[in-house]
Amino acid sequence: MDIIDGSFIERIDRTATIASFRFNVGEKIDFIPGQHLEVIFDKEKKELRHFLSFSSSSDRDYIEITKRLSDSPFSNCLRDLKRGDRVSFKGPLGNCVLDQSYKNITFLIGGIGITPVVSIVEYIVDRDLDIRVNLLYSNRSIDEIAFKDRFDSFKKRDNINVIYAVTDGSAKESGYYNGRIDKSLIEREVSNIKESLSYIFGPPKMVAAMKDLLLELGLSDNKIKTESFWGY
């Protein structure tokens, strides 16, 4: 797999701790929405290489990656980027991707697990695909909802339903759900869950709990795609 160089364009803050980074690449990376790539600041140092999901549609003329920033050397390299700085990428990687043969898809998402969902849903919007989307997106507080402005614009479309689950109990408006994603929320928001292809992205414990919940609701294992996001 070839390594491709990219030139840094801009940083977009999504929350107080999550930021997106956009790059121009000389050779277009042909990826399927939902895939990820390896971001490489120094190929000889493991701590300066990291796997991150694309958080933009493959139809865009840039690539975007998103990370919850920490005090790690890798996060510090992202923070220090200046316009025109060169970064290397290896990919695309991963099989937990958009399957256009399904006309109903459901996302059960926690925290930073939202990044590949942005790529998938943005692609559906870009291509005006006839796919019904239900997104149930869980965070501790309203302030921690990454990409909220983008999903608020997406859910104006008839085929996209977005519900924000907030676990600190602060949600008072419509479009929010106080508490974790649970059976009652899924049954209320997703009428065709057994026919839907379901994606679960998030912390490992959340992914395991959501998969058990879908199996309890009668989904077959082959209609559940999962990916755990470690180290966030």
pLDDT tens for each residue of 222-231 = 999 999 876 5
Q: Is the domain of 67 the same as that of 111? A: no
Asked whether residue 99 is domain-assigned, the answer is: no
Q: Is the domain of 168 the same as that of 223? A: yes
How many angstroms separate the CA atoms of 206 and 228, rounded? 9
Q: Is the domain of 84 the same as that of 129? A: no
Residue 196's Cβ-side half-sphere holds a number of Cα atoms within 13 Å equal to 24
How many angstroms separate the CA atoms of 143 and 137, rounded? 13
Domain count, the chain: 2
Asked whether residue 98 is domain-assigned, the answer is: no
State which residues form the domain around 164: 104-228
Which of 72, 93, 114 is the endpoint of a domain?
A: 93
Q: Is the domain of 158 the same as that of 202? A: yes
Which of 55, 72, 93 is the endpoint of a domain?
A: 93
CATH code of the domain covering residue 62: 2.40.30.10
Q: Is the domain of 89 the same as that of 122? A: no
Which of 93, 116, 136 is the endpoint of a domain?
A: 93
pLDDT digits (tens, 9 = 90+) for 123-179: 999 999 999 999 999 999 999 999 999 999 999 999 999 999 999 987 777 779 999
Among 63, 68, 71, 69, CA closest to 88: 63
How many residues are given for the chain? 232
User: Exposed, middle or buried: residue 218 (CB in 10 Å: 0-12, 13-18, 19+)?
Assistant: exposed
How many angstroms separate the CA atoms of 64 and 119, rounded? 9
Count of C-beta atoms within a 10 Å radius of residue 170: 12
> What single-letter DSSP state applies at residue 112?
G
Q: How confident is the model at residue 192 (pLDDT cuts 50, 70, 90)?
A: confident
The Cα-based distances of 195 to 13, 49, 113, 222 in angstroms read: 36, 39, 23, 11
CATH code of the domain covering residue 187: 3.40.50.80
Mean pLDDT of the chain: 94
Q: Is the domain of 87 the same as that of 8? A: yes
